[in-house]
Amino acid sequence: MMPDVGHPRIEFLVLADRAEVSGGKLYMMGGCWDRVQLPALEPRAMFPAGVAMRVLVAIDDLAGYTVSLSLTGPGEPTIVPNKFQFLRDVQIPADQPSPLAVLIASECFLGIKSSGVHRLRATIDGGDFAETRFLVTIPEPSARAVAT
């Protein structure tokens, strides 16, 4: 039996190329970024990413919490969507009092406006949080050969 957790606690937060939860398992492709190279930065460009996290929460406390995501870094980056609600797993009996881990995975879009270190932060109702950092690089435009 797991110990009582009180307020939900984020155990991990991961950025990936893709993330999804199926059958109580987390599936990721290209997971655990620490750096990403983007082909170019265009105004209003949004780059796809998967966000995955595991939250320890009491089953009788499952409803009513919101996980908020924020992205910080050079150029005021954005993330869409930036809020998630816990959903009750219908396979778990409602009278089960023990805590459980809830896996959350979502496809998001990152509005990154410049290179440098960026931070993704997940917060549960302004309380517990987790943070991950990653470096964004943009290749220099290569010199083009000019026909004469």
111 lies in a domain?
yes
4 within domain boundaries: no
146 domain residue, yes or no: no
Rounded-to-integer distance, Cα 47 and Cα 38, Å: 9
Task: Per residue of the chain (148 residues), give pLDDT as tens.
Answer: 444 556 788 999 999 999 988 887 889 998 888 888 887 767 667 888 999 998 888 766 666 788 899 999 998 888 888 887 665 555 656 665 555 777 888 899 998 888 899 999 999 888 889 999 999 988 776 655 555 5
Residue 142 lies in a domain: no
End-to-end CA distance of the chain: 76
In angstroms, rounded to a whole number, what is the distance separating the alpha carbons of residues 39 and 97? 49
3-state secondary structure of 38: coil
Tell me, yes or no, whether 145 lies in a domain: no
The domain that holds 23 is classified in CATH as: 2.60.40.2550
Of 130, 133, 131, 8, nearest in space to 66 by CA: 8
Number of folded domains that form the chain? 1
**What residue numbers bound the domain in which 29 lies?**
9-137
Residue 144 belongs to a domain: no
* Secondary structure class of 88 (helix, strand, coil): coil
**Domain-located, residue 94:** yes
**What CA–CA distances, in Å, run from 114 to 44, 48, 108, 132?**
12, 16, 18, 18
Q: Is residue 59 part of a domain?
A: yes
Helices assigned H by DSSP within 4-122? none
Whole-model pTM over 0.85: no
